[in-house]
């Protein structure tokens, strides 16, 4: 594989490994945007882009990259028809984004009749790390790269509610059992056997423990470690808080079919109240002041990068 690479003026890895980052901020191509209604969304977008770029310039001025390129791009989904790269941030609209990518790719006629299991376990979409170095490099350089983020505490509480407050055949036995065993004194046999009923405070103890009994998980991993926003130059930064208008503007930018709109429905547990700032406040009450501070510190980079206000 490398002999092909050497024909290029510089191999992708050497550019990524030695570079002082971040890369230059390219102007967004707005040729395909129709109508004047996107002016405000566009101006917000430009502010987010330059904010992240300036932050990365400050933060990264002396950092060299030590991560292998294929690891950097392992969470990025590829849609070749419209030349889109989407970095998946769980609990920030990712299920509906994957549905949209499937429609863009011609794998489904509508986003509305694709089941949750089909989205997450159907293996319909390719990830960027499944291409060779030349393919990764070419796409990073020419496709429109997007990331959608969410207030870190809201994302964390949303993940906890989804995985631990509802029956789950993976998170209860794998994470729940280990969490209850380590952090609950006098746990009863039933809880130790099933791993169900993890309390938010126990979950936070696990999150903050440098000797976690089980590893991290993408649902509560920091965005800075999922998508490397200071190393990969995202063209478009969407936020869960303005999900629909951001997503629909992005679809215009990449020339999606006019009838394709970002789906509004809640993917699972649709009768549950959405995780809002008020819901988050209730959960944070269960923690000590120190635990709240340490949880904020854990997501400190995400707060800074995407200009979220500290809770």
Mean pLDDT computed over 174-203: 96
14-28, 48-62, 215-229: which has the highest mean pLDDT?
215-229
Q: What is the pLDDT of residue 107?
A: 85
Q: Is there a domain that residue 148 lies in? A: yes
Q: Is there a domain that residue 137 lies in? A: yes
Give the pLDDT confidence of 141-154 residue by residue, as tens digits: 999 999 999 999 99
Question: What range does the domain containing 111 cover?
Answer: 38-153+221-275+301-306
Query: Is the pLDDT higher at 204 or at 35?
Result: 204
Q: Is there a domain that residue 91 lies in? A: yes
Q: What is the pLDDT of residue 48?
A: 97
Query: Given a cut of 60, is residue 187 above it in pLDDT?
Result: yes
Domain count, the chain: 1
Q: Is there a domain that residue 9 lies in? A: no
Give the pLDDT confidence of 57-82 residue by residue, as tens digits: 888 755 555 668 888 999 999 999 99
Output the DSSP codes for the chain: -HHHHHHSSS-HHHHHHH-BSPPP-PPP--TT--SSTTHHHHHHHHHHHHHHHHHHHHHTTTPBP-S-HHHHTTTEEEETTTTEEEE--TTSSHHHHHHHHHHHTTS-S-GGG--HHHHHHS--SEEGGGS-HHHHHHHHHHSEEEEEE--HHHHHHHHHHHHHSS--TTHIIIIIHHHHHHH-TT--HHHHHH-----HHHHHHHHH-TT-SS---TTTS-HHHHT-TTTS--SEEEEGGGHHHHHHHHHHHTT--TT-----S-SS-TTSPP--HHHHHHHHTTS-HHHHHHHHHHTHHHHHHTTPPP-
Q: What is the pLDDT of residue 61?
A: 53
């Amino acid at each position: 594989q490398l002999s092909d690479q050497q024909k290029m003026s510089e191999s992708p890895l050497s550019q990524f490994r030695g570079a002082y980052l971040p890369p230059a901020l390219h102007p967004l191509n707005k040729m395909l945007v129709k109508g004047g209604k996107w002016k405000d969304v566009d101006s917000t977008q430009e502010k987010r882009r330059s904010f992240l770029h300036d932050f990365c310039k400050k933060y990264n001025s002396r950092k060299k990259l030590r991560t292998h390129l294929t690891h950097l791009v392992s969470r990025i989904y590829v849609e070749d028809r419209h030349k889109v790269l989407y970095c998946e941030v769980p609990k920030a609209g990712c299920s509906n984004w994957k549905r949209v990518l499937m429609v863009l790719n011609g794998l489904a006629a509508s986003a509305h009749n694709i089941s949750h299991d089909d989205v997450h376990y159907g293996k319909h979409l390719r990830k960027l790390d499944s291409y060779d170095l030349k393919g990764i490099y070419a796409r990073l350089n020419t496709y429109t790269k997007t990331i959608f983020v969410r207030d870190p505490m809201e994302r964390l509480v949303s993940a906890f509610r989804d995985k631990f407050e509802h029956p789950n055949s993976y998170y209860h036995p794998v994470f729940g059992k280990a969490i209850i065993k380590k952090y609950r004194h006098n746990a009863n046999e039933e809880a130790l056997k099933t791993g169900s009923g993890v309390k938010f405070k126990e979950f936070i103890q696990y999150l903050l423990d440098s000797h976690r009994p089980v590893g991290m998980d993408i649902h509560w991993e920091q965005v800075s470690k999922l998508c490397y926003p200071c190393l990969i130059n995202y063209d478009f930064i969407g936020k869960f808080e303005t999900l629909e208008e951001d997503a629909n503007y992005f679809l215009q930018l990449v020339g999606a079919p006019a009838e394709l709109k970002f789906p509004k429905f809640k993917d699972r547990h649709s009768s549950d109240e959405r995780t809002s700032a008020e819901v988050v406040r209730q959960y944070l009450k269960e923690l000590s002041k120190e635990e709240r501070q340490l949880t904020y510190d854990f997501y400190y980079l995400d707060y800074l990068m995407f200009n979220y206000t500290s809770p």
